[in-house]
Amino acid sequence: MTFYDRFVTLCANRGKNPSPVAVEIGLTKSTVSNWKKRGTSPTDATAQRIADYFGISVEHLMDGVQNEKDPAAKSREVSDDDLKFALFGGGPVSDAQFEEVKRFAQFVKERDAIENK
């Protein structure tokens, strides 16, 4: 996975697009384009700013490796409202749809627990 791919994923996890996030961090939109087109990575100083923005370590940002100090590595409680917003953007969702999503989330959690033994 390239740096650009990790950056896009982190942005998506926050429900944001990469260019506006770059601007929030104080970067230009063309910086993000360069990461994508050229496959480059940010400077150390820029990587630190991005990591701080997402609340993760630079190591996780650059390599996708989490460590115990990363807030992202810790389990989080997710409310039903969080799930509905994340998956359906706050739009309408039927009880049946929501229950299906919760069953799938439980499946993923159990699968990961088995794989990480």
Go through the domains of the chain in sequence order and give each one's CATH number: 3-73 (1.10.260.40), 80-115 (no CATH)
3-state secondary structure the chain: CCHHHHHHHHHHHCCCCHHHHHHHHCCCHHHHHHHHHHCCCCCHHHHHHHHHHHCCCHHHHHHCCCCCCCHHHCCCCCCHHHHHHHHHCCCCCCHHHHHHHHHHHHHHHHHHHHHCC
pLDDT given for residue 18 in this prediction: 92
pLDDT given for residue 75 in this prediction: 47
- Return per-residue pLDDT of the chain as tens, 117 residues: 788 998 999 999 888 899 999 999 999 988 999 999 998 899 999 999 998 998 888 888 888 665 545 444 444 566 677 777 777 776 777 888 878 888 888 888 788 777 766
pTM over the 0.85 mark: no
